Chains A and B, each alone.
Chain A
Amino acid sequence: MIALGPVDYLLMLADVLVEVCCLVFLLKRRAFSQYFTLMLYFCASIAIEIGRFSIIKTAGFTSNAYLYFYFYSDAVLTICLYFVLMTFYAHVFSEMGVSKFVRGGAMLLLAGTAGISYHMVAASTDRLVTHFVVELGQNLYFVGVLLTYLLWGAMVKMRENRTRLMQLVLSTGVILSAFAGSYALGNLYPSFALWRYFFPLINMWLPVSWAYTFWKVPEDARMVTARVLAPNR
C-alpha cells in the first residue's frame, strides 16, 4: 500500500498557499470584477485541494473514493479553466461584440468533448467509469490547448498589445499543454512512480505565473506583439 510522505503533504500545502497568494494579488489589484472567472477557478481549486486532503485522511490515498474524487474534481477544475478561457476570449473580442457566440461555441465544445470521451470508452471492451473520467480529462485538456492556441493566433493576427492579457493567455497555454501531454503520457505509462509529485508541481505554475502578472504588470501596460514573436527585433 502506498502512503503519502511529508513531500506529498508539503506539495499540497504549497499548492494551496500559492493559490491563496494569487487570490490576494487579484483582490489587491482590484482585478476581480474584470477577471471574475479566475477568482472562481482559484476558489474551486482551493476547495478541491481541501476536499482531497480530507478524503486522503479518511479513506486513504489508494482508496477508490480518492481515485474518483481526484479525477472528477480535476474535470471540474478543467471546466473552470474553460470559463477562464472564455473570459480571455471575451476580453480579446470585446470590441467585436461576439462574446455570446464565444460562450455558445465553448459550451458546445465542452459538451462535444464529453460526448466523444464517452463514445471512446463505450466502444472499448472494459467500460469503466474511471476510464471515462481519465479519457475526459485528457481530451478536455487537449481541447483547451487547441482553444488557447486559436486564441493566441487570433491575438497575434489582431496585434493585441495588452501585456497582462498576453501573459495570462500564454501561461494558461503552458499549463494546459503540460497537463494534456502528461495525461497522455500517464495513459501510456500509468505506473510511473513520479506522477504523484509531477502533477502537484506543475499545478503551481498557473497561480505563480498569474500572481506575477497581476503583481508586476499594470493593466494599462502595452507591448508590441511582434516583440513577443521575435523579442530582439
Chain B
Amino acid sequence: MIAILIFGVSGLTLLQFFVSYCHSLIAESRGYKLSEQGREISGITANSVRGDEFRRLLQLIAICPEPGGDHNQVRAVSIYFGLLGLFRILFGWIQPAVVRWIESERGGCAYLAAVMLDRRIAYNRVLMARQMSTQL
C-alpha cells in the first residue's frame, strides 16, 4: 500500500519537476538572440518560432556536430514536446484555450531547439576558423 502511494506521489512530483526543468531551459533560451547566420540556416524569419518547426529543427540539430553536453537537454525537451502533443490529443477537444496554451509551449520548445542549433553552428564556425588559421 505504502509502495503504491510513494509511486503515485513520486510520479506526480517527477512530472512537476521535469516540466519545471524544461521550462527553466526554455526560459533561459529566451534571453538568447538568434544570430543572422543561425536564422538563415534554420529558415526562421520571425522573432518567435512556431511549434510545428520543432521536428525540422531537431533534424538540423542531428546533422550539426555537437560541442558536447547539450544532447540530453535536447532529448529532455523532445520528451516534453511529445508530452504536450499527447496532452493536446487527450484534452485539446475540451477547451480551445488549452490548444492555444499548448501551441505557445510548443513554440517555446521550438525556440529552444533553434537556440541549440544556433550555438552548434557558432561552435562549428569557430572550429572551422581555427582549422583554417592553422592551415595558413
Partner of B10, one of A145, A230, A232: A145
Whole-angstrom distance between the Cβ of A213 and the nearest chain B Cβ: 9
Q: How far is the CB of A157 from chain B (nearest CB, A)?
A: 14
Task: Write out, one digit per residue, whether chain B residues 1-33 have a CB within 8 A of any chain A CB (1) or not (0).
Answer: 011101101110110111011011111101100
> Roughly how many angstroms separate A173 CA and B18 CA in the complex, as a whole number?
8
For B13, B18, B69, B108, which residue has the most chain A Cβ atoms within 10 angstroms? B13
- Whether A77 sits at the interface, judged by CB under 8 Å, is no
A232 touching B24 by the CB < 8 A rule?
no
Task: Give the top 9 A-B pairs by smallest Cβ distance, nearest first.
Answer: A173-B17, A177-B14, A181-B10, A184-B7, A227-B27, A180-B10, A170-B21, A184-B6, A232-B104
Contacts A215-B69, A216-B70 given; indicate if A228 touches B17 (C-beta within 8 A): no
Contact B10 A171 (CB under 8 A): no
Measured between alpha carbons, how far is A174 from B30 in the docked complex, in Å?
A: 23
Is B21 within 8 A of A212, CB to CB?
no
Bound form: Cα–Cα A185–B26 in Å: 31
> Does A228 lie within 8 Å of B11, measured CB to CB?
no
Give the docked Cα–Cα distance between A188 and B1 (Å). Answer: 9
List B contacts of A120 (CB < 8 A): 2
Tell me the bound Cα distance from A231 to B70 in angstroms: 20
Q: Does A42 contact B (CB under 8 A)?
A: no
A163 close to chain B: CB less than 8 A: yes
B108 contact set on A, CB distance < 8 A: 231-232
Q: Assuming the A-B contacts A145-B9, A181-B10, A187-B3, are A208 and B17 also in contact, with contact meaning beta carbons closer than 8 angstroms in the complex?
A: no
A217–B6 contact, CB under 8 A? no
Query: What 0/1 pattern do residues 164 to 195 of A give for CB contact below 8 A with B?
Result: 00110011011001101101110110000000
Write the nearest CB–CB distance from A208 to chain B, whole angstroms: 5
Residue of B nearest to A156 (CB): B20
Q: Is the CB of A78 closer than 8 A to any CB of chain B? A: no
Chain B interface residues toward A at CB < 8 A = 2-4, 6-7, 9-11, 13-14, 16-18, 20-21, 23-28, 30-31, 69-70, 72-73, 76, 104-105, 107-108
Given A142-B6, A142-B10, A184-B4, is A152 in contact with B20 using a C-beta cutoff of 8 Å? yes
Which A residues are closer than 8 A to B by beta carbons? 120, 138, 141-142, 145, 148-149, 152, 163, 166-167, 170-171, 173-174, 177-178, 180-181, 183-185, 187-188, 205, 208-209, 211-212, 215-217, 221, 223-224, 227-232
Decide: A167 near B24, CB < 8 A? Known: A152-B17, A173-B17, A174-B18.
yes
Whole-angstrom CA separation of A162 from B33 in the bound complex:
20
Residue pair A228, B23 in contact (C-beta under 8 Å): yes
The docked-state distance in angstroms from the alpha carbon of A168 to that of B27 is 15
Residues of B within 8 A of A227 (CB): 23, 27, 30
Q: From residue B69, how far is it (CB to closest CB) to chain A in Å?
A: 5
Known: A174-B17, A231-B108. A180 touches B70 (CB 8 A): no
By a CB distance below 8 angstroms, the chain B residues around A224 are: 27
Cβ distance B86 to chain A, nearest Cβ, rounded Å: 19
